[in-house]
Amino acid sequence: MRFQRRAAAIGLIAAGALLFSACGSDNNSGGGSAPQAAGVTCGGKQALKASGSTAQANAITGFVNTFEQTCNGQTVNYTASGSGAGVNDFTGGQTDFAGSDSALTAAQTPAAQQRCASTPLNLPMVFGPIAVAYNVAGVTDLALDGPTLAKVFNGTVKTWNDPAIVALNPGKNLPAAPIVVNFRSDNSGTTQNFQNYLNAASNNAYGKPAAQTFNGGVGAGAKGSQGVTDATKSTPNSIAYIEASFAQKAQLPTASIINAGGGQPVPLSTDNLGKAIDAVKVTGQGNDLTLDLTSIYKTTTPGAYPISLATYEIVCTKYADPQTGTAVKAFLQTALSPQAQGTLTQGGYVPIPDAFKQRLSTSVNAIS
Amino acid sequence: MGSVSEPQSPKASPASTGGAGERAFRWLTSGAGLVVVAAVVLIGVFLIVQAVPSLIANHANFFTSAQFNTGDANNLMFGIRDLLVVTLLSSLMALAIAMPVGLGIALFLTQYTPSRLARPFAFVIGVLAAVPSIVYGLWGILVLAPVIEPFAQFLQTYLGWFFLFSPGNISPVLTGTIFTAGIILAIMILPIITATTQEVFRQTPRFQIEAAQALGATRWEVIRMAVLPYGRSGFIAASMLGLGRALGETIAILLVIRASTSPSHGSLFDGGYTFASLIASAASEFSQPLPTGAYIAAGLVLFVLTFVVNAIARVVAGGKVNG
Amino acid sequence: MSTALDAPDRPAVPETFRSVSASRKIKNQAATVLVTLAFLIAVIPLVWLLVSVLVKGIPAIVSADWWTKSLSGVTPDEVRGGVYHAIAGTLIQALIAGIFAVPIGILAAVYLVEYGRGRLAKITSFMVDILSGVPSIVAALFIFALFISILGFDQSGFLVGLALVLLMLPVVIRNTQEMLQLVPDELREAAYALGIPKWKTILRIVLPTALSGTVTGVMLAFARVMGETAPVLVLVGYARAINFNPFQGNMASLPLLIYTELSTNPSAAGQLRIWGGALTLIIIVMIFQIIASVISRFSSISK
């Protein structure tokens, strides 16, 4: 009797397990699946492996969806393990390309060169605006500039009605309350890019090293972009730098930025960041498109939004295995297609402006 | 739950013990026991092996430095001072809340509840233990923290002269402090303390309770005269087990406590990292051996800390309790 | 204070049995109130937490796709797909842990109860206690240090399973040990009297008698490890597609899914997945707990 019950229970569990393993599927094709991209030469290795920057993870997800639709049976497995790990995996030969928040350094290049047996390329494929979000009762149209932001984030400017802020916001009702700075507590490319911006745009008045961790010396950290967003939303009189998509989804107001050219405060928008990207200087040689980001941070173009995150794909010019080369090329071609670029805005990134896209296409097509 | 922790004298044995099967089986079971011993020893050994090179390369004092800077592998500067402060403050605060409440629940379930209801009630407390810690973290920071903020504000305003309630290093932010974490940890360790304490209280010898009742003692007096003295050591051991759990809690703390750029002053309204939350927050960056070793060194300290707490729990319990 | 209070209702003639004095009554009442209050205090956060998770999570889990589809091909802001890949990963990792922890745990418990004597048994018993207190992040770091740093393995679901073994072992051992202690000695002695060797007695009589209790312990151990987040953060990457292979590639699990959506996805769809994932995890853990308590009710030996 008892044995029967036991047998029945085991049978039930086994049946449940069978049923469970049979009914799952990766097929999400119903509904608004990604459209196919045109102008891509598919083929080569079926499953590419890549790892690196978390800042571009959502962009890559969109690219991969389009890639899977476009090139039947091909995919990319991207692990968002952080830029440092991504570059290490790539130079160690464990992955086919790396995603990184910064171009290869002089110290990293020889190892990458050796791994590729050809010139490694830094391709800035993903740009994302960084928003300066704030939570001040009754204020929705704050304007700030580089030097003032630097002082806020290093603790020199401590209250919302500081003359430096008031001067940029005449007639607005700024409270006498202390400014609460929210920063990212985990390592992130966003933090690094933002601190680079602060240093560049304030002529080093920020005065702190631009690392993946926040060095401003003020404020309270929160885990991840979502943590910072939640913290800003729940803390009155706080300010934070976050990827634009997080600020928008949380409906936090974002500051307009007066760029290095002076002039009118520039609100955060895709088009306005595009203007800054269009004017970016490239320091890379030949097909390498390493950027001089200072040219974005210190852009003087009227109406250009200067605070951006630029993340690279690091690839080989020529892969030892031509199959891999073909697949990497196909994936990056897909990424540059209008269909894949169309997925970017949803994730809070900026579609690459046409002029710069031409240069990327040239570099991508040279991969073999 | 458990009733035995000390190895009891082995159960009855047959007269003859020979046979190859017998020997093989004996070896198999002893081997399994050895696996457990080896596991603990190996944890210690491999953490040490991985931590030592980083400790040698460390440019700061490991025990007194408040910074944990591993960005530059050639210039490691890390110390555990603040980790220790935040870990201990949050865990001890949790203990201060959970001990009296847990004692109360254990008494309620064993002395006040009819046995028919004790089971479902104990199940309810058990559900608290079943909630995964990431859910506590989410709920803690998004739902609970804003609700207890006015209370924290009140404490800071009126008791701010006392160091525990002085403005913290993430002031004026009052959500996501050690204080918030302490309350969440208290909820999380409550089931552990309750389950074990309750078990010990149940073992109170019947005759002691009846003797007290015969003297005309009220229910409370029975508890004070018979149940509490008998269960005291078990209760303390249970609390130590809860403390061990609180010290090692990872993800809930990571989601709840805000980070700070300045060192801790030992206030409950400070932010910062515990050992466990620091390690977890850096987990995605474990790529270079030396910086990773720094986190493993922090893990080693946490291991030693929980080792000591659990060892104390065991000694105090004197065989009445197990984890 | 007490005199003022008990003066009015003191009877004129002393009773044979003195009634309990008012101060003792008050103390007793106060204790009752406090103790009941303690229970209520524990229930409040529980109900509050469960209600929050239910309210925010139910909209996610009512779709059939939630249980049968992965997130493969779903962009972060689309309310589509499901968490099948994460449920599968959670179960696979727990299963791997079980494959190692259950036999070792049961054998170790048999050792402690039936054979253990002397120093090794004392040390083993002590180490079980220590192991039960090892934080999950430390277990994860150990596996990381040994398998990834030293032996050069890649991150994988299998390594998560190994870390979970360390967390599962003490739970299995303690529960089994307790059940073995409850098996009446008469059963053993009867077997010995028939000339059956000890090991056969243990395998054929003692363990089967303690089986349901042991299974309960195993279920509780599963329930404990499935909600662990720390090992998956350190030891495996997140995948949006189904991966049944624990030895290669990234593997999702419910805690990792929640964590990933939490840190990378600001959209409403992400919020839905976070709370839906939390609710799904609680449901699965509860299923194991309920199985455990049902089995223990059919237990052939009682405490």
Please report, for chain B, the start and end positions of each structural domain, with discontinuous segments joined by +. 22-69, 80-317
Q: Is residue A298 within 8 Å of residue A10, measured between CB atoms?
A: no
Q: Is the peptide bond before B172 cis (omega within 30 degrees of 0)?
A: yes
Q: How far apart are CA B252 and CA A103, in angstroms?
A: 35
Task: Say which residues have a Cβ less than 8 Å from residue A19's Cβ, sequence separation at least 6.
Answer: none
Could you say which of 2.40.50.140, 3.20.10.10, 1.10.3720.10, 1.10.3860.10 is the CATH number of the domain covering B80-317? Answer: 1.10.3720.10
Tokens 């993946």 locate to A212
Residue C75 at interface with chain B, using a CB cutoff of 8 Å = no
What b/e string do you get for A236-256 counting C-beta neighbours within 10 Å, with b at 16 or more? ebbbbbbbbbbbbbbebbbbb
* Partners of residue A316 on adjacent β-strands: A120
Q: Is residue A165 within 8 Å of residue A174, measured between CB atoms?
A: yes
What secondary structure, in 3-state letters, does chain C show? CHHHHHCCCCCCCCCCCCCCCHHHHHHHHHHHHHHHHHHHHHHHHHHHHHHHHHHHHHHHHCCHHHHHECCCCCCCCCCCCCCHHHHHHHHHHHHHHHHHHHHHHHHHHHHHHHHCCHHHHHHHHHHHHHHHHCCHHHHHHHHHHHHHHHCCCCCCHHHHHHHHHHHHHHHHHHHHHHHHHHCCHHHHHHHHHCCCCHHHHHHHHHHHHCHHHHHHHHHHHHHHHHCCCHHHHHHCCCCCCCCCCCCCCCCCCHHHHHHHHHHHCCCHHHHHHHHHHHHHHHHHHHHHHHHHHHHHHCCCCCC
Residue range(s) occupied by CATH 3.40.190.10 in chain A: 5-127+310-365, 130-274
Task: Give the distance from residue C122's alpha carbon to the nearest chain A alpha carbon, in angstroms.
Answer: 35
Report residue A11's pLDDT band, with 50, 70 and 90 as the boundaries: low
Instruction: Flag if A79 and C74 touch (Cβ within 8 Å).
Output: no
Instruction: Flag if B146 and A85 touch (Cβ within 8 Å).
Output: no
Of the partner residues A6, A51, A249, the one whose CB lies closest to the CB of residue C266: A249
In this prediction, residues A164-176 reach a mean pLDDT of 91
Percent of chain A with pLDDT over 70: 92
Query: Lowest-confidence range among A46-55, A78-87, A258-267, C177-186?
Result: A78-87
Residue C262 at interface with chain A, using a CB cutoff of 8 Å = yes
Q: CA-CA distances (angstroms) from residue A278 to A270, A364, B83?
A: 12, 19, 46
3-state SS, residue A211: coil
Q: Is residue A349 within 8 Å of residue A127, measured between CB atoms?
A: yes
3-state SS, residue A35: coil
Contacts of A343 in chain C (CB under 8 A): 75
pLDDT tens for A87-111 read 888 988 888 999 998 889 888 899 9
Of the partner residues C32, C135, C178, the one whose CB lies closest to the CB of residue B112: C32
CA atoms within 13 A on the CB side of A14: 6
Per-residue pLDDT of chain B (323 residues; tens, 9 = 90+): 333 444 555 666 665 556 888 889 999 999 999 999 999 999 999 999 999 999 999 988 899 888 888 877 788 889 999 999 999 999 999 999 999 999 999 999 888 888 788 778 877 777 777 788 888 998 998 889 989 989 988 898 898 888 888 888 887 788 889 999 999 999 999 988 998 888 888 888 888 888 988 888 888 888 988 899 888 888 988 898 899 889 999 999 999 999 888 888 888 998 889 999 999 988 877 877 888 899 999 999 999 999 999 888 888 876 554 43
Q: How far apart are CA B250 and CA C228, in angstroms?
A: 9
Q: How far apart are CA C277 and CA C271, in angstroms?
A: 10
Q: How far apart are CA C261 and CA C273, in angstroms?
A: 7
Q: Is residue A122 within 8 Å of residue A103, measured between CB atoms?
A: yes
Instruction: Flag if A230 and B282 touch (Cβ within 8 Å).
Output: no
Contacts of C71 in chain A (CB under 8 A): 28
pTM metric for this prediction: 0.86
The DSSP element (H or E) to which A297 belongs, if any, is helix A294-297
Contacts of C202 in chain B (CB under 8 A): 25
Residue C208 at interface with chain A, using a CB cutoff of 8 Å = no
Residue C88 at interface with chain A, using a CB cutoff of 8 Å = yes
Q: Note the helical H segments in chain B.
A: 20-57, 81-107, 115-130, 133-139, 145-159, 178-202, 206-214, 219-222, 228-248, 251-256, 275-282, 289-317
Pairs of residues, one from chain A and one from chain C, whose beta carbons lie less than 8 Å apart? 111
CATH architecture of the region A5-127+310-365: 3-Layer(aba) Sandwich (3.40)
* Chain B, nearest residue to C51 by Cα: B139
Rg of chain C over Cα atoms, rounded to whole angstroms, equals 26
Question: How many separate helices (H) and strands (E) can be counted in chain A?
Answer: 14, 12
3-state SS, residue A111: helix
DSSP string, B192-242: HHHHHHHHHHHTS-HHHHHHHHHTT--HHHHIIIIIHHHHHHHHHHHHHHH
For residue B195, is it left (φ>0), alpha (ψ between -120 and 50) or beta?
alpha
Of the partner residues B43, B130, B283, the one whose CB lies closest to the CB of residue C285: B130
pLDDT at A31 > cutoff 80: no
Mutate to test the interface with A, among B170, B180, B274, B281 (most CBs of A within 10 A): B170
Nearest Cα residue to C155 out of C244, C237, C238: C237
Of the partner residues B35, B131, B218, the one whose CB lies closest to the CB of residue C28: B218
**CATH class of domain segment(s) A130-274:** alpha beta
| pLDDT attached to residue B54 | 92
- Which value does ipTM take for this structure? 0.87
Give the amino acid at C31: A
| pLDDT attached to residue B260 | 86
Q: How far apart are CA B223 and CA A363, in angstroms?
A: 81
Nearest Cα residue to C138 out of C163, C168, C156, C157: C163
Instruction: Flag if B172 and A222 touch (Cβ within 8 Å).
Output: no
Chains meeting B at 3+ CB pairs closer than 8 A? A, C
Instruction: Flag if C120 and B111 touch (Cβ within 8 Å).
Output: no
Q: Is residue B7 within 8 Å of residue C112, measured between CB atoms?
A: yes
Q: Is residue B146 within 8 Å of residue B177, measured between CB atoms?
A: no
Q: Is residue A342 within 8 Å of residue A140, measured between CB atoms?
A: no
In this prediction, residues C185-201 reach a mean pLDDT of 88
Q: Is residue B247 within 8 Å of residue B309, measured between CB atoms?
A: yes
Nearest Cα residue to C234 out of B279, B83, B249, B137: B279
3-state SS, residue A132: strand
Instruction: Flag if B281 and A185 touch (Cβ within 8 Å).
Output: yes
Q: Is residue C187 within 8 Å of residue C67, measured between CB atoms?
A: no
The 10 Å Cβ neighbour count of residue C271 is 18
The 10 Å Cβ neighbour count of residue A27 is 13
Q: Is residue A194 within 8 Å of residue A211, measured between CB atoms?
A: no
